[in-house]
Amino acid sequence: MRSCVVWLLLCSAGFSQFTATVETPLALTGITNPQQIGSLLLVGADSKPVVAPVGIVTVVTEAAQVRIKVYTEAGARVPHKTLVPKVFAVEQAGKFWATITCVDFDKKIFDEDELTFVVGPAPPPGPGPGPDPTPDALPIAGEGFRVLIVYESSTLTKLPPARRDILYAQEIRQYLDSKVAVVGTSREWRLLDQDTDMRNAAKVWQDAMLQPRLSIPWIYISNGKQGYSGPLPATIADTLDLLKKYGG
């Protein structure tokens, strides 16, 4: 497999507690039931193979815990996969910023630094407009009315108070409580910080959190037939109008 090292990070020379490298090989995705016999790779009949560049970030450190956050130039979080401990993959093209944190209390290690890297063809220059919300896609899987609002709790003060109130307003919460699907004891809407650990969450919410977003706060709506993904509206009234389009 052809690959190239695009960046070598040496944190705080002389005091470095980790090194990180980024490679951008091509990866084959979209195959099911892979099975290799000799030099032949057999795949499932429903495979839709795609070859595309992927960013592989490898962190070398004695620290037990390594965390990474990846962002676009616009500051939106980018999902990544942990391939094995301390090796992460970013499976989309673009220019990215990564914050890497290494922690080990026993070994008294704490180090954090950033790196930039490009996966695949560089995005076009300039601050062009982002994609429009996609009303016909289904950002949340499954039957029934579901809503996810993603925000960042550490920057709430930067939101105008009226927009901040949308997240907590009783009118919105009671509307959602009365309209969304119910699964067991769960009323199927969530208000989640973008850094929420979703490992133990239901798959429907894990998948929804991985949907792309270009800013924070962001709202995803699905009624099983139609969906919406876009920035949270500016007022409680506008948000209710939007919700009612899909939830009745």
Partner 1 sequence: MSKFIINDDTPESVYMPGQVKVDGKTVGTGLVPRDYSLHPVGYMGPLCPPMAGVDMPLIPESDWSAIIKEQKANKSRLSDIRRNLLGPGKPMPSLDQGSSNFCWTHSGTGAVMMLRGVANLPYKRLSAFAVACVLTGFKNDGGWGAWGLEKMILSGVPDVSVWPERSMARANDNPATWQNAALNKVSESWMDLEPPVYDRKLSRLQVATCLLNRIPVIGDFNFWRHSVLLMDWDEIEPGSFGPRGLNSWSDQWGDLGEFVLEGSKSNADGATAPRVVTG
Binding site for partner 1 (CB under 8 A): 67, 101, 103, 105, 110, 112, 153-158, 161-162, 164-165, 167-171, 173-174, 176-177, 184-187, 189-193, 195-201, 205, 209, 236
Shortest Cβ 204–partner 1 spacing (Å): 12
Rounded Cα gap, residues 10 and 145, in angstroms = 48
Shortest Cβ 239–partner 1 spacing (Å): 12
Return the number of the residue (83 or 110) whose C-beta is nearest partner 1. Answer: 110
Rounded Cα gap, residues 232 and 229, in angstroms = 9
Dihedral sign for Cα 238, 241, 245, 247, please.
positive
Return the number of the residue (56 or 100) whose C-beta is nearest partner 1. Answer: 100
Q: Read off the amino acid at residue 167.
A: L
Return the number of the residue (56 or 149) whose C-beta is nearest partner 1. Answer: 149
Rounded Cα gap, residues 248 and 62, in angstroms = 54
What residues pair up with 82 in beta bridges, in sequence order? Answer: 88
Shortest Cβ 226–partner 1 spacing (Å): 22
Dihedral sign for Cα 227, 230, 234, 236, please.
positive
Return the number of the residue (175 or 246) whose C-beta is nearest partner 1. Answer: 175
Shortest Cβ 29–partner 1 spacing (Å): 26
Shortest Cβ 133–partner 1 spacing (Å): 22
Q: Kindly report the CA angle at 193 between 189 and 198, in degrees rounded to 5?
A: 75
Shortest Cβ 146–partner 1 spacing (Å): 11
Which residues are CB-contacts of 217 (< 8 A; sequence separation ≥ 6)? Answer: 149, 150, 151, 152, 159, 163, 166, 167, 231, 232
Return the number of the residue (138 or 149) whose C-beta is nearest partner 1. Answer: 149
Return the number of the residue (160 or 248) whose C-beta is nearest partner 1. Answer: 160
